[in-house]
Structure 1
Amino acid sequence: MRQPQPFVTFKPKSAQQGFSLFIVLMVMIVVAFLVVSVTQSYNTEQRISTNDADHKFATALAEAALRTGEKRIADDDLDASQFTEDCENALCNVGTNPAWERATCGKSKTESCIDNSSGIFAAREAAQPSRYIIEYISQQPDGSEIYRVTAKAWGKNRNTVVILQSYVAAGK
């Protein structure tokens, strides 16, 4: 025959320590810190990927503007006399410093040549239209002429700017 089990006796409330409450609170604090750090990491990664996508978009627009300038060299019969210090019609003399670095150009005394006197390649979603300028570098002994095409493009964000250059030799 079995012996009857004694009843479980509880300690009076005054003798309980509340240790499990303390453990649960500590676990909740650790979980809260984990959630906050994961959220911050996610937001940072999202900003990085958005900026990277915008930079790729601006690079593609700059490449398209660069190709537009190169096509203009190939299609137009450009003459060295068409290239001016003020970069009229996006045609610039090299001058003392490159046109994309000049502080003032043409009618505007506040904008650089590439921002003021350039050819435009428009894109719908960009912060502003992509631009290009063509600089006459020199004539080679074989009669070909060397040009430098500089393109500047913006992404969807006005702070995302890409500048690309290419050198083109055009034969006569």
Structure 2
Amino acid sequence: MDNNLSQSFEISITRVFNAPRELVFKAWTELDHFAQWWGPKGVTLQIFKMDARSGGEFLGIQTSPDGNQVMWTKFAYQFAYQEVVEPERVAYIRSFSDEQGNTVRSPFSVSWPLEIMNSISLEDDEGKTVLKLKGCPVNALAEEQEAYRGMAPRLLQDLESIFNRLADYLAFLN
């Protein structure tokens, strides 16, 4: 990560999936796969744009199980994935957005960073895939970095839930 990112607090998580690396990569980069598992348990995802390549864009809306909480999210920096290298790496900046893809403040905190850099690496391990995700705020003020640091345990818990859904989906495909 560049100097601007290395000054920020970073979370990281490693997970092993019982699926080949190529399939895990497709689950992250192909619309039909991604929509099946992304988000915490019970959350649905409707995708409006997904062009998972370097310079591509994503725009989707997540809806809570009760249907009351709707959250637009975009994986973009000026609507662009940072880097996509098949089948080993996906890097993107995630931010909240409106329906047009304009970056907006988080619906849960005015102190939340506008942009979060996420970097995913996929390594082959004898037919299984080791996924490593690192995330950190981008160009964040001190109070935004502190908000991110304070939410780290919750973020990791949410990622575990999301990765559990991915593991179940990959098991279904295998």
TM-score (norm 1): 0.29
TM-score (norm 2): 0.28
Structure in which a larger fraction of residues adopt helix: 1
Look at both structures and tell me which one has the larger radius of gyration over its CA atoms. 1
Determine which structure has greater relative contact order: mean sequence separation of CA pairs < 8 Å that are 6+ residues apart, divided by chain length: 2
